[in-house]
Structure 1
Amino acid sequence: MDTELLLRIALAGGLGALIGLERQLRAKEAGLRTHILVCIGSAMFMIVSKYGFADLLANGHNIALDPSRISAQVVSGIGFLGAGTIMLNKQMVRGLTTAAGLWVTAAIGLIVGSGMYAIGIFGTLMTLVVLEGIRQLSNRLIGQRYMIMLSLAPAGIDLVMQTLRKRHIRVIRSSVARNDDENKDCKMTLEVMMHARYKPAEIYSQLLAIEGMHKIDIR
């Protein structure tokens, strides 16, 4: 029994590593070590939930065993860790996929800890398909989401939008803010959220060539 439980923890760590490696390669907020720890911890919680009170039951204590109680706390508790990977920057939310990945990784740990190895392995493969395969499909169909911040003269704003349209870039949202109301040659800050099928760095030189352009920041 003890050997099998050790194997469950090792398998959970290995499956968590597969998901964490994909996140690490994408330079996401939670990477390899985080996913391994989440999966191992979930497996151990499930093991103690199922087998940790066998001595009390064997001694005839008048208690009722509910193996789902600890695992249920893992499901709710992992939300706090996932929330730490979500960031709001300039009204643009990042980290939701990583948070969902941590949530799924916790589920895989619980499943492996309960002894359902095939389901845990299949769940890991499906997670990797979603994280990598669906990502590539989405990028080909609608492109990746980017945020571009430009500091430029007011006359250049229309030229920026025309350049993006010519390159078939879909603009999701744009906003303009004035930097200096008193200066006639004031600079404007243009924020553009968009979907592009290639990195916007490829149009960096075109945007920089626009008259009155001062600064470009691509995120």
Structure 2
Amino acid sequence: MLMDLLLRIALAGVLGGLIGLERQMRAKEAGLRTHILVGIGSAMFMIVSKYGFDDILNQTHIGLDPSRIAAQVVSGMGFLGAGTIIIQKQMVKGLTTAAGLWVTAAIGLVIGSGLYEIGIYGTVLALVVLEVFRRISHWLIGQHHTLIVQLKPKSVPSVLLALQKDRIRYGQISVVNRDKESGLCELTIEVTLARSVSGSNLYEHLLEVKGVESVEVH
């Protein structure tokens, strides 16, 4: 029994690490170590929830709900996931990583309960969604980038018009107040580039707009 429980903890850590490795390769907020710890911790919570009270359950006047600790893991992961979501310049980032941590916690709970096949299957599906679907999304829709443009305030409409002429889809837009010394403001735009459009071409095109001082493509 002990070896089986130790195997569950180790396997939950390994499966969580696979998801964390993919996130770390993408330079995301929560990487390999974070996902391993979430997997191990969730498995241990489930083991405690299922087997940690056997010594007192034999007493007739005590009744416990074995799902209560596991349920708290689900709600507790909300706080950890919220820590990976960044709101920067009115842009929201980190939602996929937060969802990955949530799935990793679920995998840890499943493995901790002894459902090995379900845990492995869930890990494979999560990796397929994170990697394969990402490539499919880039192929069908395009790749998402963040543009940071230093420019004169009056040039903001010109930049947006240049994007429209190039048929580049853009989403959230943020403009930081003008710097008093340089007279420039910072424009941040979320754009989606089709396969036919390269970041270098977009960079050169935006620099040609009057009033634009610098462009960064992330």
Could you say which TM-score interval applies, normalised by the shorter chain? 0.7 to 0.9
Please give the alpha-carbon distance, in whole angstroms, between the structure 1 residues aligned to 2:176 and 2:56: 67
Q: Which amino acid aligns with 1:216?
A: V
1:164 Cα deviation from its structure 2 partner: 2.6
Gaps of 5+ in 2: none
Match of 1:132 in 2: 131
Identity of aligned pairs, percent? 57
Aligned equivalent of 1:50: 50
State the shift of 1:193 in Å. Answer: 2.4
1:21-100 pair list within 5 angstroms: 21-58=21-58, 60=59, 62-100=61-99
Alignment size in residue pairs: 216
Counterpart of 1:197 in structure 2 is 194
Q: Counterpart of 1:110 in 2: which secondary structure?
A: helix
**Deviation by residue 1:185-212 (Cα, 9 ceiling, x = unmatched):** 9545433322113563442223224343
Q: Which runs of 5+ in 1 are unaligned?
A: none
SS at match of 1:84: helix
Hey, what's the Cα distance between the residues in 2 that align with 1:44 and 1:38? 10
Q: Are the counterparts in 2 of residues 178 and 186 from structure 1 also a CA contact under 8 Å? A: no
1:60-209 correspondence to structure 2 within 5 Å: 60=59, 62-153=61-152, 156-157=155-156, 159-174=158-173, 179=178, 187=184, 189-197=186-194, 200-209=199-208
Residue 166 of structure 1, CA deviation: 4.6
Q: Which amino acid aligns with 1:149?
A: I
Instruction: Quickly say closer, same or farther: Cα 1:187–1:53, change in 2 above 3 A.
Output: closer
Distance of 2:184 and 2:73 partners within structure 1 = 51
1:144 and 1:134 map into 2 onto residues whose CA distance is: 12
> Once structures 1 and 2 are overlaid, which stretch shifts more, 104-113 or 48-57?
48-57
Q: Tell me if structure 2 keeps the 8 A contact 1:42–1:109.
A: yes
Residues 155 and 45 of structure 1: is their aligned pair in 2 closer, same or farther, counting only changes over 3 Å?
closer
TM-score by length of 1: 0.87
Q: Does 1:218 align with 2:214?
A: no
Please state if 1:17 is matched with 2:17. yes
1:62 aligned counterpart, secondary structure: coil
Alignment RMSD (CA, Å): 2.5
8 Å Cα contact 1:39-1:106 kept in structure 2: yes
* Aligned-pair CA distance for 1:180: 6.9
Structure 1 contact 43–113 (Cα < 8 Å) conserved: yes
In the alignment, the residues of structure 1 paired with residue 179 and residue 30 of structure 2 have an alpha-carbon distance, to the nearest angstrom, of 40
Q: Deviations over 1:31-56 (max 9, x none)?
A: 00000000010000000111111122
Distance 1:106 1:126 in 2: 15
